[in-house]
Amino acid sequence: MGGETAREILINCYNFDSRRRVEKAGPAEVLDGKQRLTSLLMFMDGKIRAFGRFVHEYEGRPRVNIIWKVVDLDEVEVLRTYVMLNAGGTVHSADEIERVRALIAARESKG
């Protein structure tokens, strides 16, 4: 869809920007980038290498250029985002995509 996601971590936090008529935000959940985030944390913990070296083998502090995107999506929007992100690229099973599409239809029919 023309987006660049290699450095992005997409976080959903319902009511993050306080635009909804509910008292508090949250919880926050990773919508896209879980593997990137997990790999980064494993590298920072010294469990895996990046470019052939462990974190302690770099001089100074390693710099990471991550883009954190926080969005405020409702349940149906989260499901639509899942389908948009996972229907192409790294292939998820057709059964899984159909399961989530059914969840969207069920939520939309509730109003």
Cα 3 off chain centre by:
14
- Which tokens sit at 49? 């290498």
> Residue 20 pLDDT > 80, yes or no?
no
Q: 33 burial class (0-12, 13-18, 19+ CB within 10 angstroms)?
A: buried
- For residue range 79-106, list pLDDT tens digits in order: 999 888 878 666 778 898 899 999 999 9
Q: Catalogue the long-range contacts made by 38-46 (C-beta closer than 8 Å, 24 or more residues apart).
A: 40/64, 40/66
Say how many C-beta atoms besides its own lie within 10 A of residue 79's C-beta: 20
Please name which of 35, 46, 52 lies closest in space to residue 86, comparing C-alpha atoms: 35
More confident of the two residues 8 and 91: 8
Q: What is the pTM of this model?
A: 0.64
Which residue carries 């770099």 as its tokens? 58
- For residue range 22-69, list pLDDT tens digits in order: 666 668 899 988 988 998 899 999 999 988 899 999 988 777 788 899
Q: Which 3 state secondary structure label does DSSP give 52?
A: coil
pLDDT at 110: 85
Question: In this structure, which amino acid lies at residue 23?
Answer: E
